Amino acid sequence: MSIANDSVFSHIVHAPEDPILGVTVAYNKDQSPVKLNLGVGAYRTEEGKPLVLNVVRKAERLLVDDNSRVKEYLPITGLADFNKLSAKLIFGANSPAVSENRVVTVQCLSGTGSLKVGASFLGRHYHQKIIYIPLPTWGNHPKVFTIAGLSVKSYRYYNPSTRGLDFQGLLEDLGNAPNGSIVLLHACAHNPTGVDPTPHQWDQIRQLMRAKALLPFFDSAYQGFASGSLDADADAVRKFVADGGECLAAQSYAKNMGLYGERVGALSIVCKSADVAPRVESQLKLVIRPMYSSPPIHGASIVATILKNEEMYREWTVELKAMADRIIRMRQQLFYALKDKGTPGDWSHIVKQIGMFTFTGLNSKQVEFMAKEYHIYMTSDGRISMAGLSSKTVPHLTEAIHAAVSNVA
Ligand code: KET
How many CB atoms are located within 10 Å of the residue 294 CB?
17
For residue 190, the CA-to-ligand 1 centroid distance in Å is 11
Same-domain status, 240 and 139: yes
In this predicted structure, what is the pLDDT of residue 5?
66
Under a CB-based contact definition with an 8 Å cutoff, are residues 226 and 233 in contact? yes
Pocket test of ligand 1: the residue of 138, 233, 327, 380 to mutate, having most ligand atoms within 8 Å of its CB, is 138
Single pTM value for the model:
0.96
Specify the DSSP element, H or E, that contains 153. Answer: strand 151-156
Range of the domain at 342: 21-51+326-407
Same-domain status, 143 and 103: yes
Mean per-residue pLDDT for 147-163? 96
Same-domain status, 275 and 366: no
Q: Which amino acid is at 243?
A: D
Q: Is residue 13 part of a domain?
A: no
Answer yes or no: is pLDDT of 256 > 60: yes
Same-domain status, 149 and 203: yes
Same-domain status, 288 and 340: no
Q: Give pLDDT tens digits for 5-33.
A: 689 999 999 999 888 889 999 999 999 99
Q: Is residue 10 part of a domain?
A: no
How many CB atoms are located within 10 Å of the residue 111 CB?
25
Same-domain status, 230 and 358: no
Distance CA 225, CA 327 (A): 9
Is the CB of 299 within 6 Å of ligand 1?
A: no
Same-domain status, 365 and 227: no
Question: For residue 2, what pLDDT band results from cuts at 50, 70 and 90?
Answer: low
Q: Is residue 315 part of a domain?
A: no
Between 6 and 347, the more confident residue is: 347
Is the CB of 110 within 6 Å of ligand 1?
A: yes
The CATH number that applies at residue 43 is 3.90.1150.10
Q: Is residue 333 part of a domain?
A: yes
Q: Is residue 15 part of a domain?
A: no
Q: State the closest ligand 1 atom to the C-alpha of 40, by its place in the atom list counted from 1.
A: 24
Is the CB of 295 within 6 Å of ligand 1?
A: no
Q: State the closest ligand 1 atom to the C-alpha of 254, by its place in the atom list counted from 1.
A: 15
For ligand 1, atom 1, the nearest C-alpha belongs to 221
Distance CA 389, CA 397 (A): 9
Same-domain status, 210 and 294: yes
Q: Give pLDDT tens digits for 273-327.
A: 999 999 999 999 999 999 999 999 999 999 999 999 999 999 999 999 999 999 9
For residue 301, the CA-to-ligand 1 centroid distance in Å is 21
Last residue of a domain, one of 260, 282, 308: 308
Same-domain status, 265 and 291: yes
The CATH number that applies at residue 104 is 3.40.640.10
From 1-5, 33-37, 188-192, the region with the lowest mean pLDDT: 1-5
Is the CB of 381 within 6 Å of ligand 1?
A: no
- 198, HSE (Cβ side, Cα atoms, 13 Å): 6
Distance CA 23, CA 105 (A): 33
What average pLDDT does the structure give for the chain?
96
Q: Give pLDDT tens digits for 58-116.
A: 999 999 999 999 999 999 999 999 999 999 999 999 999 999 999 999 999 999 999 99
Question: For residue 3, what pLDDT band results from cuts at 50, 70 and 90?
Answer: low
Three-state SS for 111?
A: helix
Same-domain status, 283 and 362: no
Same-domain status, 33 and 117: no
Is the CB of 252 within 6 Å of ligand 1?
A: yes
Is the CB of 219 within 6 Å of ligand 1?
A: yes
In this predicted structure, what is the pLDDT of residue 139?
95
Same-domain status, 192 and 246: yes
Q: What percent of the chain has pLDDT over 70?
A: 99
For residue 7, the CA-to-ligand 1 centroid distance in Å is 35
For ligand 1, atom 2, the nearest C-alpha belongs to 221
Give the residue numbers annotated as catalytic, written as ranges: 138, 219, 255
Q: What percent of the chain has pLDDT over 90?
A: 96
Q: Is residue 85 part of a domain?
A: yes
For residue 111, the CA-to-ligand 1 centroid distance in Å is 7
Last residue of a domain, one of 249, 281, 308: 308
How many domains does the chain fold into?
2
Q: Is residue 353 part of a domain?
A: yes
Q: Is residue 393 part of a domain?
A: yes
Q: Give pLDDT tens digits for 359-407.
A: 999 999 999 999 999 999 999 999 999 999 999 999 999 999 999 999 9
Is the CB of 334 within 6 Å of ligand 1?
A: no
